[in-house]
Amino acid sequence: MKCQYGGCNEEVFEQSGFCILHIDLPEDEKSERFIRINDLKNAAIENKKIKEDFNFKGVKLNSVDFSNLKIDKDLIFAHAIIKKDFYCNNTEIKGDIWSDNVNIGEHTFFEQSNIIGSVSFFRAEIGGNISFDKAKIGKYAWFEGLKTEGEASFNHVEINGSLSFKEAKIIENVSFYASHIEGHAWFDNAYIGGNTWFDFTEIKGGLSFKNTNFRSLKGQEKAFRNAKIIWERLGDRENADYHFYHEMEAKRKQKPFYVKYPELIVQYPFGYGAYPFRLLTSFLIILLVFALIYWIIDGNSLNSLLEKIRFSFLVLIIPAYGVISAKSDIYGLFTIFEAFIGAFTWPTFIVTFARKYMR
């Protein structure tokens, strides 16, 4: 009888309905049955290596060690369940690595390996660290939807295509120290719980952290600063401004409370100089609010309201006009206050607009 796992033609093991590689491991690792089944699984893996059959889709194993091998085909572990570590260090793989939806209980290592094709860990779940330190990847590296309880370490790695960690969840650090990426590197909508290192990393394309959630403010600051520098080098001002804004946001949140909360005015109404239309909107709101205040104090007709709007506009763009026109009553106090706001708002808008569209 053939194994019930789709696409598997191996014989079933002890009328279980599945072959030895697709059967579940017993829970008790010290039991005789666990030891016997695990030994049979390891023997089956060695037999497949001899046959140069590296399709391990859906297998259920205790651990994997494919280090120091030369594999001429694709290495497939899609939908596999590995209770402990997955070792594949110093291995040459002439095909691709397909590990989509793989579940690895502990750590995953592909250090110093040479992968001629692509690497895919789409929606994989890893209970510890994932490391590709000093590895070479000939095409793209796909880790979208990856969940790892440890860190993602890609130090001194060479990737000849693009890299994607979109929607990934990395509980600890992300490190790409002194790495080379020929294409883009995407971390959009991801979660990063630790720090980030992209020091001395060369990325030919863009580095994106759009809507990425950082637990570490220092990690957010460093990540967005690196991305900003890369987008500026590429001449993409929109993405550079986006990452600059969130870099400054992280800096603000790290300051003492008596600084970071007043600085909210610089972040939201002024947008750190990155969003001129946000500043224009703030300018218009201030104009209308003070116009209504003047109208309530000094009149109640439509013509009076239009006059107060004109007056409020002049006070904002010409602060001296507001000071000269100030009266000694409460009306004058509001005029002075608006002139003070206008002394900062209008010049800032001009500088921001010029920076955005005329540089």
pLDDT band at 354 (very low <50, low <70, confident <90, very high): low
The predicted structure's pLDDT at residue 261: 79
**Distance (Å, whole) CA 2 – CA 23:** 13
The predicted structure's pLDDT at residue 56: 95
Q: What is the pLDDT of residues 35-44, one digit of tens each?
A: 999 999 999 9
Is residue 5 assigned to a domain?
no
Is residue 289 assigned to a domain?
yes
Instruction: Tell me, yes or no, whether 216 and 327 share the same domain.
Output: no
Instruction: Tell me, yes or no, whether 309 and 259 share the same domain.
Output: no
Mean pLDDT within 316-334: 73
Amino acid at 262: P
Instruction: Tell me, yes or no, whether 91 and 196 share the same domain.
Output: yes
Say if CB 46 and CB 11 are below 8 A apart: no
Is residue 28 assigned to a domain?
no
Instruction: Tell me, yes or no, whether 169 and 285 share the same domain.
Output: no
Structure tokens at 292: 């209504």
Is residue 184 assigned to a domain?
yes
Amino acid at 91: T
Q: What is the pLDDT of residues 37-85, one digit of tens each?
A: 999 999 999 999 999 999 999 999 999 999 999 999 999 999 999 999 9
Instruction: Tell me, yes or no, whether 198 and 254 share the same domain.
Output: yes
Is residue 179 assigned to a domain?
yes
Residue 338: DSSP 8-state: H
Is residue 198 assigned to a domain?
yes
Instruction: Tell me, yes or no, whether 282 and 246 share the same domain.
Output: no
Do strands 97-98 and 163-164 pair parallel, antiparallel, or not at all (unpaired)?
A: unpaired
Q: Which domain holds residue 342?
A: 276-357
| Closest C-alpha to 334, from 291, 303, 301, 304 | 291
Domain end: 241, 264, 287, which one?
Answer: 264
Task: Report the predicted TM-score, pTM, of the whole model to 2 decimal places.
Answer: 0.83
Is residue 98 assigned to a domain?
yes
Is residue 37 assigned to a domain?
no
> Which residue reads 């309905």 in tokens?
17
Q: Give me the chain's average pLDDT, please.
A: 89
| Closest C-alpha to 157, from 144, 174, 176 | 176
| Closest C-alpha to 164, from 121, 201, 193, 198 | 121
Non-local CB neighbours of 120 within 8 Å, separated by 6+ positions: 96, 97, 98, 99, 100, 142
Instruction: Tell me, yes or no, whether 148 and 168 share the same domain.
Output: yes
Mean pLDDT within 190-215: 95
Instruction: Tell me, yes or no, whether 219 and 341 share the same domain.
Output: no
Instruction: Tell me, yes or no, whether 322 and 247 share the same domain.
Output: no
Domain end: 224, 243, 264, which one?
Answer: 264
Residue 46: phi and psi, rounded to 5, are -65, -35
Q: Count up the domains in the chain and report the number.
A: 2
Instruction: Tell me, yes or no, whether 200 and 292 share the same domain.
Output: no
Instruction: Tell me, yes or no, whether 214 and 246 share the same domain.
Output: yes
Please give the share of the chain, as a percent, with pLDDT higher than 90.
63
Domain end: 264, 294, 317, which one?
Answer: 264
**Distance (Å, whole) CA 117 – CA 91:** 13
Is it the case that residue 228 has pLDDT exceeding 90?
Answer: yes
Instruction: Tell me, yes or no, whether 320 and 172 share the same domain.
Output: no
Sign for the CA dihedral angle at 211, 215, 220, 222 comes to: negative
Exposure b/e, 136-172, CB count within 10 A at least 16 = b: bbbbbbbbbbbbbbbbbbbbbbbbbbbbbbbbbbbbb
Q: Given strand 125-126, what is the order of strands in its sheet?
A: 60-61, 81-82, 103-104, 125-126, 147-148, 169-170, 191-192, 213-214
> Which residue reads 């709007």 in tokens?
309
Q: Cβ–Cβ contacts within 10 Å for residue 10, how many?
A: 15
Q: Which residue has the higher pLDDT, 304 or 210?
A: 210
**Distance (Å, whole) CA 235 – CA 35:** 60
